[in-house]
Amino acid sequence: MKILVTGANGQLGQDVVKLLGANHEVHGYGRDQLDITNESQCMEVITALRPDVVIHSAAYTAVDLAETEVKQAYAVNADGTKNLVIAAESVGAKFCYISTDYVFDGTSVTPYKEDDLTNPQSVYGKSKRAGEQYIESLSSKYFIVRTSWVYGSYGTNFVKTMLNQAKTRDSLKVVSDQLGSPTYTIDLALFLEQLVMTEKYGIYHASNSGSCSWYEFACAIFEESGLKVNVEPCTTEEFPRPAPRPRNSVMEHGTIRANGFEDLRPWREGLKAFLVELEQNN
């Protein structure tokens, strides 16, 4: 399969390029090679390459900054997605969009299903939802994959931040009233590979299975790393941020099961595997 990957220098994109490159002809594009906000460039690159699949992982992800950089967030997450999907459709390519738990408001007491009403509260969430809507209306062969709490070898993330904090501090406060599912980039990338080889189109929720709070996640990181750090739970109100966070962003994996895919492994197993990978890389 010929696969074009956007956001190829990002946290998820780098693992997608690396893993899928073992079995497919993968062309990774970073911001320097492909400006997704440039409509004619998107059309040019995609019509020249004629990929079978576009995996669109490029995004404006600075959640707090987006509250003031509204135009930039929409230019990338909404208009950039529209440019790509129009170009992909013109060559008959499948389109796989990496979306987010932030499309929900977080007030549900049960895990979110794929067809639950979206109600994003932040500019980031609203711009990503706008991207989803463009895909739903413009693509005939799409996969929208909503994920959450992503971490991996590349870039900065919660796991690396906690490990770095442990070098200089023996106690930390971590928010305990936000629930979600941590997602290891390798597990997500392997799921995307399975998915794009099929024609089982639609909306998917894909994260490592199970859920926890940020506080529980931090405790697990230190336990699995054998680090002695005293972690204290605190409330969201104690750590005010410009952009609102969903209190509950746990997502039901109904479409994965309904279409006969294997669910992603439990989040704690993903975390263990990542810590091993991190040690090997160091």
Q: What whole-number distance in Å separates Cα of residue 34 and Cα of residue 27?
A: 11
Q: DSSP assignment of the chain, as one string?
A: -EEEEESTTSHHHHHHHHHHTTTSEEEEE-TTT--TT-HHHHHHHHHHH--SEEEE------TTGGGT-HHHHHIIIIIIHHHHHHHHHHTT-EEEEEEEGGGS-S--SSPBPTTSPP---SHHHHHHHHHHHHHHHH-SSEEEEEE-SEE-SSS--HHHHHHHHHHH-SEEEEE-S-EE--EEHHHHHHHHHHHHTS---EEEE-S-BS-EEHHHHHHHHHHHHT---EEEEE-GGGS--SSPPPSB--B--HHHHHTTPPPPPBHHHHHHHHHHHHHHH-
Residues facing 171 on adjacent strands = 230
Q: Which of 102, 124, 134, 184 is catalytic?
A: 124
Q: Is 238 exposed, middle or buried (0-12, 13-18, 19+ CB in 10 A)?
A: exposed
215 noted as active-site residue: no
Q: What whole-number distance in Å separates Cα of residue 44 and Cα of residue 40?
A: 6
Tell me which residues are annotated as active site.
124
